[in-house]
Amino acid sequence: MLVNMKEMLDEAVKKGYAVGGFNCASLESALAAIKAAEELNLPFILQHAPAHEEYIALDIAGPIMIDLAKKSKVPVCVHLDHGPDVNIIAKALRLGFTSVMFDGSAMSFDDNVATTKLITSMAHSLNVTVEAEIGSMPHNLKGEMKEYIPEDFYTKPDEAAQFAELTDVDALAISFGTVHGIYKTTPKLSFDVIKQIRLSTGDLPLVMHGGSGLTEDDYKKAISSGIRKINYYTYEALAGGKSVYDIVNKKPQGLLYHDVATYATEVMKEDVKRVMKIFANV
Ligand code: 13P
């Protein structure tokens, strides 16, 4: 069933858990997430990030994601992750996405507010939900990250409150120490930052990006502090990558590609199930 984020996040706010947002960078990752959610009977968010365009383009992934969501037994929101500008957001809306993220975190506060407001009014008129970001996060997608001071990136609670009030967003991505991609060192997470932002923004669902690669305890603390959506991808993809070495070692000759893809999907599905259970507290 294809839905937007509203109901699933409202329910998460009411019951105090988090919904997973899983990226589709390949058909296998989309299938892994759908199968995991159906086996656990849990709603989830299937998302496509422009950073993954070189692996599977939005034009190709979008219609497949929407079709999979419509046919699914569980509620699935099809969401654009980290939309960098109005053109890509408009493209996702034309494709039938039920939710979009505008990432104006690198802009000035005023420009981020103005562009997010424009996108919120456009999306809401189509019953599409909107996530935006305030504060910024370091990236280590390709191992290129330099030394940084985690505290410099934390979202300021008063800015988050002002941003939420001015933009009418449905979910707000905040920065409290997580990093996209692979963690080189243990992240310095501030659960206090989440708690303060929650106090200043009320029931607005808060989103954790860079959500893979953390401990179960970290997830639980982040959720009890107020996180209601967790974006998860890199460590699922690492599990899928490792499964390829395993299957090649088991059968070094005569391996068929579809067996590799099926095995990797299964391994990624198990990784997704593991975290879905933690996020939903089941
Ligand atoms: P990871 O790189 O930690 O999986 O984060 C994914 C994400 O935040 C997508 O927006």
Residue 178 alpha carbon, nearest atom of ligand 1: 3
How would residue 149 be classed by pLDDT, with cut points 50, 70 and 90?
confident
Active-site amino acid positions: 81
Return the structure tokens found at 272: 């997704």
Residue 208 alpha carbon, nearest atom of ligand 1: 8
Residue 141 alpha carbon, nearest atom of ligand 1: 2
pTM assigned to the model: 0.96
Q: How far apart are CA 92 and CA 276, in angstroms?
A: 26
pLDDT tens-digit readout, 65-79? 999 999 999 999 999
Q: What is the pLDDT of residue 150?
A: 75
- Which of 101, 206, 209 maximizes ligand 1 atoms within 8 Å of its Cβ, making it the mutation to test the pocket? 209
The CATH number of the domain holding residue 35 is 3.20.20.70
pLDDT at 146 over 70: no
- Which of 101, 137, 140, 234 maximizes ligand 1 atoms within 8 Å of its Cβ, making it the mutation to test the pocket? 234
Contact assessment for residue 21 and residue 47, using Cβ atoms and an 8 Å cutoff:
yes
Ligand 1 centre from 74 Cα, in Å?
A: 23
Q: How far apart are CA 73 and CA 66, in angstroms?
A: 13
Residues with CB under 6 A from ligand 1: 23, 49, 81-82, 180-181, 209-213, 231-234
151 or 85, which is more confident? 85
Q: How far apart are CA 4 and CA 192, in angstroms?
A: 29
Ligand 1 centre from 140 Cα, in Å?
A: 10
Residue 172: name the closest of 96, 234, 97, 227 by CA.
227
Ligand 1 centre from 209 Cα, in Å?
A: 5
Q: What is the pLDDT of residue 145?
A: 59
Strands 99-102 and 171-174: unpaired
Q: How far apart are CA 208 and CA 205, in angstroms?
A: 10
H runs (alpha helix) in 41-134: 58-71, 86-95, 109-124
Q: In total, how many domains does the chain have?
A: 1
Domain span at residue 54 reads 2-279
pLDDT tens-digit readout, 14-65? 999 999 999 999 999 999 999 999 999 999 999 999 999 999 999 999 999 9
pLDDT at 141 over 60: no
Q: How far apart are CA 260 and CA 241, in angstroms?
A: 10
How would residue 153 be classed by pLDDT, with cut points 50, 70 and 90?
confident
Contact assessment for residue 182 and residue 234, using Cβ atoms and an 8 Å cutoff:
yes
**Residues 77, 239, 256, CA angle at the centre, nearest 5°?**
100
